[in-house]
Amino acid sequence: MRLAAVLSVLVILAPVAVAWAQRPKPAPSEKPAPAGPRELGKFDDWIAATHQESGQTACYAFVRAKNSVPAVSGRGEVVLTVTERPSGRDTVAISAGFPFHKDAAVTVQVDTTGLDFYTVQSSAFARDGKAAVAAFQKGEQALARSPGPRDGQVIVDTFSLRGFAAAYAAINKACPAR
């Protein structure tokens, strides 16, 4: 009698046990991916974005060169960037796409304003970021003249400034000065 009762319970519960065993397993809790850049918007030719650096938000606006003369074989991307961080405001940099010679100088012309940049490896930085930003807000294009990777070579990179003022406003809103 007992055996018959146990068997009848098993017959009744078997489909439930099978269904329970076949249910989808909950996915292991996924760890969130590290926070990458987050786009704030596109402003004509400029893009504004944020990213995390050492637990703090950094905001930047950038544009790629629309023209580079002469063409340099194997050259990486050429980008003009303005960055706002809690530790520093109006950092203006150009990523040249090739390493500069030691102590190379870069000049950027915006309308009638000339700006001096110093170089570190494959980047050039404005000596006066505030002056560069002021010129970018009023200008239509920036012409960067830099020594090329070969001796005596001069590279001219042209950057559009269309949309810079709006992109700059967006990064300052996302990363206000303290």
Confidence of residue 52 (pLDDT cuts 50, 70, 90): very high
Please check the confidence at residue 43 and state whether its pLDDT lies above 90: yes
What is the mean pLDDT of the segment spanning 24-33? 49
Confidence of residue 35 (pLDDT cuts 50, 70, 90): low
Q: If 0-12 CB within 10 Å is exposed, 13-18 middle and 19+ buried, where does residue 15 land?
A: exposed
pTM over 0.85: no
163 phi-psi bin (left φ>0, alpha ψ -120 to 50, beta other): left
Residue-wise pLDDT tens digits, 67-126 = 999 988 889 999 999 999 988 999 999 999 999 999 899 999 999 999 999 999 999 999
